[in-house]
Every structure is written in C-alpha cells, then in structure tokens.
Structure 1
C-alpha cells in the first residue's frame, strides 16, 4: 500500500492548529487549496431517553439499546438495536438527552430491516426539552434561523448518516414514512470543539461559585468555533461587543488563542471606515477596548501594530462624533437589549463608553508611537468628563459611568446597581455591573448576585449561560431538562423579548460568561500591571469565602495561587509564578 501511494506523488505538507506538520493525501496536487479546520469531534452516547411517543411497546421496541456505548459502525450481527414501527396514523418518536449543551450534529447508525429502501426521519435539535419537542411556528418562536434544527432527511439501510450543525443538548427523532420499520443501532451526538487545555482554573469552598466559573468557561469554549461566535444556535456571528466578555474569559481560561485575532480582524476587514462594526457604534468602541485588554494580557506588539492604521482612523471618527462635550454617535445606539427602551440611559452609557474608549486610545497610541493621536484622545476625553449624564435608573449605564470614572463607583452602586439586588441585571452587562461593584468594594454583594443570578440559570438545568435571564421567570417554571407539566411555565418557551423571544432564545451565549473572568480577577485577585503579564498584582478579595485557589495563564506560563482566610481575618497566600512574571502584592 505504501509503495502504491508513493507512485501517486509526494504528499502536500500542511500545518495544523497546534503547529504540528500534517500531510494531505498524496492524490492532492499543488492546484488544491485547503484550510485546516482547527476543531476536533467526539461522539457522545445519550445519557437518557426523556420521552417516547409509545407507552405500550408496540411501535417502539427496545429503546434502551440506544443508551449503550456504540462504535459508529454498522454490522451484520443484527443485535442490540431499537425498532420504530409506523403505520398510516402513527409516527413513532424518541427524545434523547446528551447530558450537556454541545455544538455539532448527530450520527445515526441503522440496521437491516427487510425493506432496504432509504427511510425518512425527522430530526429536531433543542437546547431545552421543550424546544426539541416543538415545531417551527410563529407562536413559540422555534426557528431554523442561523442553524437548521428541525428538518427531514433520509437514512440508509444498514449504514451510517451524519447530519446537523447546531447548538443543542436534546434531540428528537421521528419515523416519518408510513408503514415502515426503522432499525436504529446507534444514535450519537457529534461534539465539535477546539481541543485546547483549560490553563486557568478557580476553586473555592463554595461549590456553587466553582460551578458558575466552569460553566462560563465552557460557554465560551463552545463558541470558539472557526470564529468566535456569540451563540452556537443563534446567533452564529461575530458580534464585536459580545466578544469583550468572551475575550476576557479566554484570557482567563485559555490564554492566547487564534480565534480572537481571527475574529477581530474579520470584523475590521468587513467594516471599512466610516462604517460601524455590526452597524452599532458601541461595537466599534468595544473593538478598541478589546485590543487594549488583549494587549495587556498577551503583550503582542507585532499584532497590535497591524491594527494601527484602522485604529487611528477609528479614533478620529469617534472624536468627530462628539458635540458640546457630549457623545453624538450615530448608527444603531445600543448597549444591550434590556436597556434599549431607555434612551437617556443609553446616552449615558454611550457617553461613558466614549470616555473609556478614548482613554484606551491614549494607551494604545502611546504604545504605537502616535503621540499626536494620543494627545487628541486625551484632550477629547478630558472635555467629555466635564459633562455627567444621568443614568436614568439604568444599571447598565450606571456601571459604565462608574467604570469610566464619571460617577463615583460607591454612588453608582448604592443608588442604582444594588437597588433590588439582582433585579434588572442582564447576562451581557451583568459583567460590567459586577466590575462596578468591585470598584465600589462591594465584593459580598457581587458574589451574592453571581450566586443568585447566574446560579439561577443552573437551578433551571442550564449547562451553559443564556442570552438573557430574569430571576422572575423561575417562580413557576420547570427546568429546561424536563417536559413542562400542566400549570407550570416553560422557562425557555414562555419568556424572552426583542430578538430572543420564546424558543428562539439562545441558551448558550458567550457574552454571559462574565463571572468567570470576574472571579479570577477579583476573588483570586489577578490583575495585569505590565503588558504581557510581565508584572501582575495579586490582591485577593475573599468576601465571605474561607479559601480559594486557582491558576492564571500568562505568555510565560501558568501562575498558581492559593489564599486562605486566617482566624484573625487576614489572608495567607501561596503564589508560584513562572520565570519572567513579577508578582506585586
């Protein structure tokens, strides 16, 4: 065989995402262009069968065989399979739970019924049980937008079919053809993800916080596909504002990863100035802030210089969008969806963001040897600080006003953000509300909101964090991993607003991962002093915790940290930093 391949010609060498040289099959010649996909796939056996259409055993036989670990290979043994039998009035169906939200599709292995013709089945993916049990309609909001999650396909006799590309935990399969027998040997989920190590970690005496940290990390990991998406079901797009919490989580958990630069550059390249990224002025400002925070963590000056021309032009454009010491931005004026009906709050938030962005511009332009532009940004930011808009009750705006220094963090927290505890939080801007609480030294309040708000999603069966959430939704709701009984609310199908009404709501949204980076920054206590983590400061804030330990990735290696609260309230810290990382205490 090796001799035969050699006769076909030399193999083409390609480099995989991990830097290892690989070979294309030698039948490819130099005229072929190829791209190495940086993801891997695993096959997952269902954890349980949630529901079947048949309670008598007449139309679905031996369904428990599908919970056996499979091989993905059809065979001639004709054992350990499940039969679905249809007639003119009955289309048998089974609902599977794969245990955790994933991005990918499904593999179906069939056996050998007497009728050898292909057979039609209907597949429905769902992030919740109710979504997998739904049909595309205008009532509950189930949709095929961005990713097909409800479709009919044919499967072969004695073969294997792999199909689907969506975000889901649950999958329902129905036999569509009448008067047929479908013999299923295996039904496995195809889990597609980047095979990268979790370099950062967080563990404390509070298991709920530990699970929240891990869930935020996993949420972002699922969205690190070929580009950095905000949602694996909807939307599977590069939304730049949504990327900021995601990038902070990536810095905290994975360190440097190619998906960040690839996505930032994609947004830049498809948005020539004077356009706004994603049509939203704030999202172009987030692009600047992401680059500032990315450079602080990674210290990649060569990459930052590639942004120089666009960055300087964008900063000029932002400066032009000020008038009478106020932001005067056009484009879509947007912070997040829950704040969108409060134009005064949106104005306050955009004004604060303008100050934050121009101050980030001062930092970046100084690094890039653009003194004139740095001075323009500094002068404009100074003028903008002469005006302090009213947050108008918006927790989103109050958080940004605090982070920009326009309003004292203690005042913003006491008068707006802490009112009603975690009421009117949002999954996206909740991160900045937590940051403002930290600036106000309200660490216990922030920890309680993390436990209550993000923990509330876990109580509803979440394995990833959602596009939006309101604790009020949970009062009479059934978790996402169960059928909704009469008299109970459907936490997925009965709530939501704006673009995420009902079942259209994404239950895996990277912008909701804020507690992961927040806990590492403020509880574990890691902050970056010198770009590239050459100097870091470690100042823990344990709040009501008794101990915390974890790791933080830097370009020089992983920092290992443990803090223990002593009887007198002091903190005993053990820190192991790699060579090249200076630690301030």
Structure 2
C-alpha cells in the first residue's frame, strides 16, 4: 500500500472511531446531558499578543497608510464608538494600501482584527497573509517561490465588519501582511493582535550555562516543541500538522526533559496506533512503526507508567513479531516506505545500514518492554534476532546518519562513527538526525565536539533570525543570505524562498519543526549530565560533561518532583556538583 492510500485509510479509520477519541466535557445546563453531544474539551489556551514592530508599509507619506504605530499599543479586543486614534488604510485608483506586522516570535494561531466606523457602512474586503518569514508573508501563492495554502490556510481574502471584531487563521507564523483589496476603499483599524494558541505548561526542566548561545539554543528547542503540542503532537504548525511518529521521538525526548509528563504524548501514540491496524506501517513508513516502539520505551523509562504500558501489549507484541518476520538471513528486509530522513532518501546503502541499526535498537527496546510485561517468549525471540543481526554488519558508506545509528546500536565502534560524523564538521547534518549524530559523538566521548556542532549548526539558524528550529538547514545556506526577519536587501539571497528539497521546497519549508529540537534533550542528558537508569526516574546517574563551559545549572522533571543540579568547574579543572532531589530518587554520581 502506498503512502497516499495509507493516509486515506488512516483518515477513514479515525473518522469511524471518532466517538471513542472524544473526551467528555462539561456543558452548561441548557444543553442537557453531555452524552447527547460529541464534545471535546480543548486543553490549550488562547492569548492575545500585540505586534512588536511595523516591518513595512506600502506608503511612507501618510496618505494611504497613516498612524500605523497605533497597532503597537496594547488593545482589549473591543470595538468602540470613539472613532479616534485609529490606523487608516486607503486605496485609490493608483495605490493599494498594505502593512506588514512582526509579532516577535514564531506563533501558532491566528489574527484578531478590531475595526472602526468606516465612512461606507458595510464590510471591507482585505487580504491577509501569514508568514514564518518576512518573504513568506510578502509572497504570492505561485509555482516560483513555493508559497502554498497546503494543510493550514495562510493566505486568503475575506471581509471584515464595519465597527466590529473578527478572528481569522489557524497556522504557524510570525509575520502578518494586511492588504486593502478594493479600489477607493477605506479601512479603519483599532487593533490587529495575534491569537496565540498553545498548551500552557510549565517549563519544569531548565538549562543555564556560561554560554548564552547554548542557553538560547536549549530554550529555542523547548519552545519549538511546545508550539507542536497542540490537540496532538504535530511535526509543524504551518504545514502537515499530522502525527508523524518518527518526528515524535526527538519531540518526546524534549518533552521528557523540559515538561515532564504531558497527555499529548500518549494521546498521539494511541491515535496513530488506532488508525494503523497491523500489518500496516505507521504513516506508511516501516521505520516509523519502529519509532513507535522506541518512544514507548522512552516514555516508560522516564514516566514509569506501567498501567499505560500494559494497554500497549496487544499491539506491541504482534508488531514485534511483524518486525522479526522482516529479517532474512540476519538482514532487515523491510517493505513500505524505506526512510531515515530526507537527505539520505536516495542513498539506498545508507538507508539499509540505518534500518539495520534501527531494527537492532527497536528489538532491544521491545525485548525490555516485553520482559516488564511478562511476554518472555517474545522477548527471547527479539534477543535471538538481535544476536543474528549483529553477525551481518552493513557498510555505512561514510554516511553520517547511518554511522550514527550503527554506533548507537552497537554495530560500529563509536569512535569510527565519530570520525565519519566529524568529517567536514556539520556538513551533511540534518535537523532531524543531527540529534542522533550528537548522541553518537557523546558515546565516543567527543562531548566538546558535539557542543561546538550545536553552537555552529543550530546557532546558525538563530543567526538568520530564527525563533524556532527549522525542518532542515545547511550552514552553506547562510552565505550571502538575508535574515528571515528582514526585507531582503539588494544582492542578498532569500534563504527561505531559495533552499529546500523533497517536501520542503522553498517557502513551503517549515521554520518550526519539532524534530529539530534535539540539542535541548542532548544538553540536559550530556552536559547537565542526567541519565535515567530505572523506569520512572527512580534512579538517576548524573555525570556532567562541561567541555569549555565554566558552569552549568538546571532542573530535571521526574514523576516525584524536580531535581536541581549545579556543576561548577574549579580552578584545578575538577567539577564541583550540587544536587537536590526528591527523597524517592536515588542519585548516582559519576
């Protein structure tokens, strides 16, 4: 079954089972019994945000766009009869009035417009364009720059009321352009505020070091994932907005290290399970079903919820049997879409090497979970298969993604993998598999090299104006490129409208993608030094690796409460550590 047909099947199954996915909510008494309504309580909040700056207007004379800075004042969302101190947009036969707003950070949500008493009594036609970059907000939907209305509508024409309020949009954005459409028209605006929709969850985990660049990278990765913690755990708020299980693994690791338990994780895992009856592969991709197993193991290790794990038994055990059936003569022979990440997609030897390693790691995790569940026969089957697979070591063909997975699976010495990954520094990195490259470098003991890779690669996105991490990135894109938060200077390359491949060409490229958050969990695990040794964080091993940092401090969320940690490098090079943990947690110092 191809990917398109699998997705259609998934949608059909989801609709068929929608009543089981809906949580009961409380309705006012006038509705009668809640069971008569298919309802679901939204666990997100909506906050209104004022624009931070006016990036551009179509007119600097004040004839067509006047009093624009009024929009930078705090509003209340309420239309008023006092028709003074409003923003005025006017069109005539020669000029169409437009304004471009910057809300300062990538957001998920829409736009609230509050209008005044225009001279003409009636609605006014406008065009609204949301953009993750200035260039996207300024672009037309065409085949040249890649701007689209796929999935989440971000470019549309509509009417706003005379003396009223209207809320529009449901996408990922930072910038909004508003155009007055009709000739000889007038628009009076009191407010144009962003509707920020997100899960209001505390940052229980934290990271602060002597390097502000690393601190900002840690926080940016955490925020990127928070934007994707919507009804379900998405890949990106602008585009697909789907539960892609492979994307979920770095996201779940970030959630474990920053937010602790959050119901969006099991809710998303259960959703993809419910719409993927075996022997189908999740998202039509065989490795994504493996990622589901691996996430279940990570979730149990960090949260220790045995009750939830037991509910996975009837799917987990047959899935492991299915995966074992795809091994022939010690080699993976997976069908479905054979995928690691997009940069390796066409490299079949690298994909095979990566899938071989993924299978070993998945069966290792599956065996561990089966022993917890008392499924001894399946655990033994997984372990015997792993033993056979380790006799057949594929060539990583000097591919960084494949070498990383092979090192983590024990199919390649970590030092050899690090040599491959370190060649050309971050050349060949991807925002998704960069996380596993960092993990492999840590396994090889090259912590300082990994820290420098984080500074250069993820820091490079920040240097280009990013407030969230992107679907893909290459340091070579920065050469002579303009920032995403500026109008393109003459002679500069538009980094958003120029680069990208596969499903993320040009402006279609997502600039807020959860799979890019890897440094956040990596820094907590390897620099702050927190490793979970027993399910539910009952035992933590804390071994810091500061590299060139003078200090690092932070917090780590557990089911028993927050662990507080501070490491300071002394004059003699030794590390002094101070750790405060809940009494239920055993701390092992390395």
Matched, 1:319 2:318: no
Matched, 1:203 2:203: no
| Partners of 1:272 and 1:34 in 2: CA distance | 26
Matched, 1:478 2:471: no
| Partners of 2:374 and 2:408 in 1: CA distance | 26
| Partners of 1:282 and 1:385 in 2: CA distance | 18
| Partners of 2:131 and 2:52 in 1: CA distance | 15
Residues 72-471 of structure 1: pairs in structure 2 closer than 5 A: 72-414=77-419, 416-471=420-475
SS at match of 2:525: helix
- Alpha-carbon deviation of 1:22? 8.3
Residue 544 of structure 1 is matched in structure 2 by: 548
SS at match of 2:457: helix
Residue 495 of structure 1 is matched in structure 2 by: 499
Residue 7 of structure 1 is matched in structure 2 by: none
Contact 2:25 2:40 in 1 (8 A): no
- Alpha-carbon deviation of 1:177? 1.7
Matched, 1:561 2:565: yes
- Alpha-carbon deviation of 1:308? 0.5
Matched, 1:58 2:66: no
Q: CA-to-partner distance for each residue in 1:454-486, whole Å, 9 max, x for gaps? A: 000000000000000000000110110001122
| Partners of 2:182 and 2:542 in 1: CA distance | 63
| Partners of 1:579 and 1:35 in 2: CA distance | 38
- Alpha-carbon deviation of 1:217? 0.1
| Partners of 2:258 and 2:549 in 1: CA distance | 21
Residue 3 of structure 2 is matched in structure 1 by: none
SS at match of 1:24: coil
- Alpha-carbon deviation of 1:260? 0.2
Residue 12 of structure 1 is matched in structure 2 by: none
Equivalent residue for 1:28, pick from 27, 31, 46 = 31
Equivalent residue for 1:578, pick from 570, 575, 582 = 582
| Partners of 1:61 and 1:410 in 2: CA distance | 63
Contact 2:25 2:41 in 1 (8 A): no
| Partners of 1:229 and 1:466 in 2: CA distance | 14
Contact 2:25 2:39 in 1 (8 A): no
| Partners of 2:52 and 2:241 in 1: CA distance | 27
Residue 48 of structure 1 is matched in structure 2 by: 53
Aligned-CA RMSD value = 1.1
SS at match of 1:350: helix
SS at match of 1:27: helix
Gaps of 5+ in 1: 1-18
SS at match of 1:90: coil
SS at match of 2:497: coil
- Alpha-carbon deviation of 1:144? 0.5
Query: Matched residue pairs, number?
Result: 565
SS at match of 2:29: coil
- Alpha-carbon deviation of 1:309? 1.0
| Partners of 1:23 and 1:465 in 2: CA distance | 37
Residue 16 of structure 2 is matched in structure 1 by: none
Seen in structure 2, the aligned counterparts of structure 1 residues 22 and 339 have a Cα distance that, compared at 3 Å, is closer
Q: CA-to-partner distance for each residue in 1:202-231, whole Å, 9 max, x for gaps? A: 000000000000000000000000000010
TM-score normalized with structure 1 length:
0.96
| Partners of 1:89 and 1:39 in 2: CA distance | 45
- Alpha-carbon deviation of 1:97? 0.2
| Partners of 1:191 and 1:560 in 2: CA distance | 31
TM-score normalized with structure 2 length:
0.95
| Partners of 2:467 and 2:493 in 1: CA distance | 20
Gaps of 5+ in 2: 1-22
SS at match of 1:492: helix
Q: CA-to-partner distance for each residue in 1:46-77, whole Å, 9 max, x for gaps? A: 00000111122111111111111111000011
| Partners of 1:271 and 1:32 in 2: CA distance | 27
- Alpha-carbon deviation of 1:362? 1.0
| Partners of 2:499 and 2:472 in 1: CA distance | 10
Moved over 4 A (4+): none
- Alpha-carbon deviation of 1:24? 2.5
SS at match of 1:236: coil
Q: CA-to-partner distance for each residue in 1:362-411, whole Å, 9 max, x for gaps? A: 10100000000000000001000001111112100000000000001011
Q: CA-to-partner distance for each residue in 1:167-197, whole Å, 9 max, x for gaps? A: 0000000001211110011000000000110
